[in-house]
């Protein structure tokens, strides 16, 4: 081992030593019988190479090499692991644990026990209920439960001790007891008869412990057995043992039950009836042995310590017919006590020939926990076989002893040749028992006419070719307009016309109207150049089409008129029609026809004329289209005329636009409120109405009206209007929803803010703002920031030393006092300004004085 590891350092070192190359080291390894892969594995295990895999390999490693059960001891330092790949990779999740599915459909899950008939050996005890019937010369019927003392009481007859008797013994004793009181019951022949039956069986409590789904105490029927109790506990889980269920009674083991007898054979001889306070214990699984491969039931089995491969195969139902007796692999994990820290792997593989052990009872290959048994399949090769494939009616495998020569195989076995068979060649591939391949070829026609006789051998494979395989498929294709592209086999005298007629709806009007009749192409293959050449035909020249016969690989292409024209012309209409959009253009289609196709006018549409944009692209000027206006003829649209008065024939891509006047169906409503005689909502006749006309429509102004304080409200905002003009000259362009509010002389004038007493006053004509300020006690003795008046019509005017605006009803006079902080800051700013100005003046005077002295 040490020498091999030193060599590995050389093999896998990036810097080769002088005089010893990597190949030299490999040669030394090879001389010692070590492959490069084996050396790599040893290097990784000893820390000479990093393991590039995320997990360690499960390659074979063992102290013993087992060959046909003959153990050969091999020294540790000569053990070389084989290729580092797992011997057996069995995903246990894909295999079920054998036997546990008997508890899946649990008939006792709801405690409804199906226990069958009561046998005569049933021992009676307190809690059992009896029905006793006497009939014949005497009559008696009563039901009684055995009391805690074990007695039943007969009416007027006394007490009878029943507990501890078997059911059969009880019936005999009751007959003797009642015979004392009822004549004819014991006489011969009997004239009185007795029937005793159990109407209710006492429950018993048992404890099911260990690896079951619901461990603990369970109440079961007095007739219940071990199986019934296991079902009542929900069954055994996969960690529990099916091979050793222990039953304890009065702290003593009375029975150990193996369920495999029940599962594999239906044998319930070991099942026993339980008594009150019995304890069932299910221990852990004894072992887990995995069985895969060609067996009847692949699963994970539980085996006892003395059970062998024969037992495992018996429990599985045996091997399948395709199983190989010579190749049964057993992957075994070394027991803990046999493992060596110097060993790399602790799993080894054994292959046995089962045919040597199957019929010899002395040979017994014992299995242990963790074993994985894999039964291989026999070889797929079969004897006495020849096969034939290719262009025959019945290809497949045939018996060599029946069809020993080639001609018989073709004619009788394969039922002859199919049409279009290539007769110049037939091939036979052979493989002997040693795997040596050989090849023979013959002329098929010579074989069939008997000139050549070929004797077949084991595993010969005969191949017969079709003309299509050798020469290529002889087909023609057609594609293009009106055709679902297709390729068909060529037939004799198939003309160009025939192919077209078969592939399209030749006489269909739509096809005839859209197909390009001036040209169709026939692309013909030139075998010399390997290229296609195109031959043009006239679609309407039927005579030429019928006389032109197709050849293999011909390609026919049809075209539509779309190569030069638009076969689906459209026009578009938008605007005030019910269904605007794009429509197919028909022949000689008028404007009025398009409007009808679009569902007619909307209610607001202008029906006198429409606008038409016609495509007129000019790249030089950038022009896209020209617009035209054309009058409409409603009488034509109604069907009263054959032709419009001013006919306009539409062309492809025309766009028609039907317009509507602005606010066509719109009648604005304005509310007039305030000091008018009849306040109401007024429907405007025109959008040029004046304020004077609007006021006249509601009866005119009242005596209390004040036009200067009037205003218009729009969207909750006041719209300023200069009412100092003549009302008949005021046009405010009123809109729907506007409110004209005429002011009232009765609306008070108010003062607020920095006045001595904020008040409301009756309006006095001609009075100004300062009049009302004085009437409110004058200004407060604080600095006044601003004074202004807000009139009822929303207009705002400032009040100052030289400005004293006129006041109207509803005006609000507002005085805002200065903030103390602002006053202090302004005072400081004034002082700073004065200081700066004084400094500048002082400097200037000093300069002037100096200049004059100089």
Please give the pLDDT value at position 781.
84
β-partners of residue 351 are 67, 329
* pLDDT at 14 exceeding the cut of 80: no
Please give the pLDDT value at position 8.
46
Q: How far apart are CA 325 and CA 555, in angstroms?
A: 62
Across 505-526, average pLDDT:
87
Please give the pLDDT value at position 71.
33
Write down the mean pLDDT value for the chain. 83
Q: How far apart are CA 23 and CA 11, in angstroms?
A: 8
Identify which of 260, 237, 292 has the alpha carbon closest to the alpha carbon of residue 94: 292
Q: How far apart are CA 201 and CA 199, in angstroms?
A: 7
Q: Which residues contact 281 (CB under 8 A, 6 or more apart)?
A: 209, 210, 245, 246, 248
Find the range with the poorest average confidence among 181-185, 623-627, 719-723.
Answer: 719-723
Please give the pLDDT value at position 33.
53
Please give the pLDDT value at position 814.
94
Please give the pLDDT value at position 729.
77
Please give the pLDDT value at position 456.
92
Confidence of residue 568 (pLDDT cuts 50, 70, 90): confident
| Token representation of residue 225 | 């057995």
Please give the pLDDT value at position 28.
60
Q: How far apart are CA 787 and CA 776, in angstroms?
A: 14
Going from the C-alpha of 749 to that of each of 217, 607, 634, 721, the distances in angstroms are 99, 57, 65, 20
Please give the pLDDT value at position 589.
95
Q: Which residues contact 443 (CB under 8 A, 6 or more apart)?
A: 423, 424, 425, 426, 452
In this prediction, what percent of the chain has a pLDDT beyond 90?
A: 43
What's the first-to-final CA gap in the chain, in angstroms? 119
Specify the pTM.
0.44
Q: How far apart are CA 505 and CA 516, in angstroms?
A: 15
Q: Is 685 left (phi over 0), alpha (psi -120 to 50) or beta?
A: alpha
Q: How many other CB atoms sit within 10 Å of the CB of residue 542?
A: 10
| Token representation of residue 653 | 């891509």
Going from the C-alpha of 561 to that of each of 425, 502, 520, the distances in angstroms are 51, 21, 11
Please give the pLDDT value at position 447.
92
Query: 2-11 vs 36-45: helix axis angle to the nearest 10?
Result: 100
What would the pLDDT profile of 291-308 be if each residue is shown by its tens digit? 999 999 999 999 998 888
| Residue 798, H or E segment | strand 796-798
Q: How far apart are CA 312 and CA 314, in angstroms?
A: 5
Q: How far apart are CA 108 and CA 114, in angstroms?
A: 8
For residues 437 and 430, the answer to whether their CB atoms sit within 8 Å is: yes
What would the pLDDT profile of 798-815 be if each residue is shown by its tens digit? 999 889 999 999 999 999
* pLDDT at 80 exceeding the cut of 50: no
Across 67-81, average pLDDT:
36
Please give the pLDDT value at position 39.
62
Please give the pLDDT value at position 155.
85
Across 149-164, average pLDDT:
88
* pLDDT at 553 exceeding the cut of 60: yes
* pLDDT at 381 exceeding the cut of 70: yes
Find the range with the poorest average confidence among 216-220, 362-366, 373-377, 441-445.
Answer: 362-366
Across 573-579, average pLDDT:
95
Buried b (16+ CB within 10 A) or exposed e, 315-343: bbeebeeebbbebbbbbbebeeeeeeeeb
Going from the C-alpha of 140 to that of each of 73, 134, 159, 167, 533, the distances in angstroms are 86, 5, 16, 20, 117
Sheet strand arrangement including 421-431: 396-399, 385-390, 461-466, 421-431, 437-442
What is the per-residue DSSP string for 371-420?
-EEEEEEPPS--SSEEEEEESBSS-EEEETTT--BHHHIIIIIS-SBPSS
Highest mean pLDDT among 46-50, 104-108, 217-221, 314-318: 314-318
Q: Is 318 left (phi over 0), alpha (psi -120 to 50) or beta?
A: left
Confidence of residue 705 (pLDDT cuts 50, 70, 90): very high
Find the range with the poorest average confidence among 65-74, 272-281, 401-410.
Answer: 65-74
Q: How far apart are CA 456 and CA 127, in angstroms?
A: 86
Q: Which residues contact 238 (CB under 8 A, 6 or more apart)?
A: 97, 100, 285
For residues 362 and 374, the answer to whether their CB atoms sit within 8 Å is: no
For residues 203 and 220, the answer to whether their CB atoms sit within 8 Å is: yes
Q: How far apart are CA 638 and CA 635, in angstroms?
A: 5
| Residue 347, H or E segment | strand 347-352
Highest mean pLDDT among 178-182, 501-505, 535-539: 535-539
Across 615-643, average pLDDT:
93
Confidence of residue 74 (pLDDT cuts 50, 70, 90): very low
Q: How far apart are CA 141 and CA 182, in angstroms?
A: 13
Q: How far apart are CA 751 and CA 773, in angstroms?
A: 7
Top-confidence residue, 148 or 79: 148
Is the preceding peptide bond at 540 cis, omega within 30 degrees of 0? no
Identify which of 419, 588, 554, 582 has the alpha carbon closest to the alpha carbon of residue 478: 554
What is the per-residue DSSP string for 276-330?
TT-EEEEEE-S--EEEEESBSS-EEE---TT-BHHHHHHHTT-B-TTEEEEEEEE
In this prediction, what percent of the chain has a pLDDT beyond 70?
A: 84
Q: Which residues contact 27 (CB under 8 A, 6 or more apart)?
A: none
Across 445-460, average pLDDT:
91
Q: How many other CB atoms sit within 10 Å of the CB of residue 101?
A: 12
Find the range with the poorest average confidence among 9-13, 36-40, 502-506.
Answer: 9-13
| Token representation of residue 530 | 């390997």
Please give the pLDDT value at position 78.
38
Please give the pLDDT value at position 281.
95
Please give the pLDDT value at position 685.
86
| Token representation of residue 92 | 């246990």
Top-confidence residue, 615 or 842: 615
β-partners of residue 706 are 743
Find the range with the poorest average confidence among 204-213, 439-448, 756-765, 815-824.
Answer: 815-824
* pLDDT at 109 exceeding the cut of 70: no
What would the pLDDT profile of 761-791 be if each residue is shown by its tens digit? 999 999 999 999 999 999 888 888 899 999 9
């Amino acid at each position: 081992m040490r020498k091999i590891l030193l060599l590995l350092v050389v093999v896998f070192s990036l810097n080769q030593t002088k005089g010893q190359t990597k190949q030299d080291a490999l040669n030394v390894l090879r001389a010692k019988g070590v492959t490069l892969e084996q050396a790599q594995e040893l290097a990784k295990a000893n820390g000479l190479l990093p393991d590039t895999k995320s997990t360690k390999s499960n390659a074979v490693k063992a102290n013993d090499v087992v060959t046909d059960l003959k153990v050969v001891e091999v020294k540790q330092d000569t053990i070389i692991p084989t290729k580092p790949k797992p011997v057996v990779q069995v995903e246990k999740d894909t295999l079920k644990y054998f036997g546990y599915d008997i508890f899946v459909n649990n008939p006792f899950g709801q405690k409804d026990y199906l226990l069958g008939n009561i046998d005569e050996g049933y021992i009676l005890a307190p809690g059992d209920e009896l029905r006793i019937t006497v009939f014949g010369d005497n009559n008696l019927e009563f039901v009684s439960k055995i009391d805690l003392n074990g007695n039943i009481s007969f009416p007027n007859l006394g007490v009878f001790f029943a507990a501890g008797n078997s059911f059969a013994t009880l019936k005999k004793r009751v007959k003797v007891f009642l015979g004392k009181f009822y004549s004819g019951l014991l006489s011969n022949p009997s004239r009185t008869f007795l029937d005793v039956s159990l109407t209710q069986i006492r429950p018993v409590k048992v404890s099911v412990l260990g690896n079951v789904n619901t461990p603990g105490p369970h109440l079961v029927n007095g007739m219940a057995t071990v199986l019934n109790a296991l079902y009542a506990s929900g069954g055994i889980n996969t960690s529990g043992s099916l091979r050793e269920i222990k039953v304890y009674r009065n702290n003593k083991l009375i029975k150990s039950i193996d369920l495999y007898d029940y599962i594999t054979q239906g044998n319930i001889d070991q099942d026993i009836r339980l008594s009150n306070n019995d304890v069932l214990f299910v221990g852990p699984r004894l072992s887990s042995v995995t069985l895969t491969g060609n067996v009847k039931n692949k699963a994970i089995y539980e085996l006892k310590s003395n059970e062998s491969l024969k037992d495992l195969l018996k429990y599985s139902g045996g091997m399948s017919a395709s199983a190989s007796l010579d190749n049964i692999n057993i992957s075994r994990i070394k027991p803990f006590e046999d493992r060596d820290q110097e060993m790399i792997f602790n799993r080894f593989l054994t292959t046995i020939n089962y045919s040597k052990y199957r019929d010899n009872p002395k040979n017994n290959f014992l299995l242990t926990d963790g074993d994985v048994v894999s039964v291989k399949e026999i070889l797929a090769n079969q004897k006495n076989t020849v096969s034939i494939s290719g262009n025959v009616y019945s290809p497949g495998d045939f018996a060599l002893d029946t069809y020993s020569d080639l001609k018989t195989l073709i004619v009788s076995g394969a039922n002859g040749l199919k049409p279009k068979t290539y007769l110049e060649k037939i091939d036979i591939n052979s493989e002997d028992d040693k795997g040596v391949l050989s090849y023979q070829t013959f002329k098929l026609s010579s074989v069939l006419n008997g000139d050549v006789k070929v004797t077949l051998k084991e595993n010969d494979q005969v191949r017969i070719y079709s003309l299509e395989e050798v020469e290529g498929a002889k087909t023609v294709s057609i594609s293009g307009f009106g055709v679902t592209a297709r390729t068909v086999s060529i037939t004799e005298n198939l003309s160009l016309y025939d192919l077209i007629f078969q592939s399209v709806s030749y006489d269909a009007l739509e096809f005839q109207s859209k197909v390009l009749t001036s040209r169709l192409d026939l692309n013909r293959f030139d075998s010399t150049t390997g290229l296609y050449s195109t031959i043009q035909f006239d679609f309407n020249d039927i005579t030429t089409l019928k006389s032109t016969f197709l050849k293999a690989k011909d390609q026919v292409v049809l075209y539509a008129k779309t190569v030069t024209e638009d076969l689906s012309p459209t026009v578009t209409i938008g605007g005030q029609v019910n269904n605007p959009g794009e429509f197919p253009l028909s022949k000689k289609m008028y404007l009025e026809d398009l409007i009808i196709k679009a569902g007619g006018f909307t209610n607001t549409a202008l029906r006198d004329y429409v606008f038409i944009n016609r495509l007129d692209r000019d790249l030089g000027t950038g022009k896209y289209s020209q617009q035209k206006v054309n009058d409409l003829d409603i009488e034509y649209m109604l069907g009263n005329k054959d032709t419009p008065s001013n006919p306009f024939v539409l062309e492809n891509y025309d766009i028609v636009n039907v317009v509507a006047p602005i606010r066509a169906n719109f009648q604005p409503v304005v509310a007039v409120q305030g000091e008018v005689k009849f306040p109401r909502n007024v429907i405007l006749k025109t959008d040029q109405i004046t304020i004077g006309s609007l006021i006249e429509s509601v009866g005119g102004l009242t005596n209390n009206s004040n036009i200067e304080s009037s205003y218009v409200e729009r969207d909750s905002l006041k719209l300023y209007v200069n009412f100092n003009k003549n009302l008949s000259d005021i046009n405010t362009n009123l809109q729907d929803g506007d409110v004209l509010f005429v002011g009232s002389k009765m609306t008070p004038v108010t003062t607020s803010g920095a006045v001595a007493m904020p008040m409301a006053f009756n309006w006095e004509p001609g009075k100004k703002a300062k009049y009302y300020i004085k009437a409110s006690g004058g200004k407060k003795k604080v600095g006044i920031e601003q004074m202004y008046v807000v009139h009822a019509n929303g207009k705002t005017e400032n009040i100052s030393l030289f400005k004293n605006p006129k006041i109207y009803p509803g005006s609000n006079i507002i005085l805002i006092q200065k903030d103390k902080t602002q006053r202090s800051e302004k005072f400081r700013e004034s002082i700073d300004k004065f200081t700066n100005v004084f400094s500048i003046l002082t400097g200037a005077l000093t300069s002037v004085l100096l200049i004059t002295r100089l």
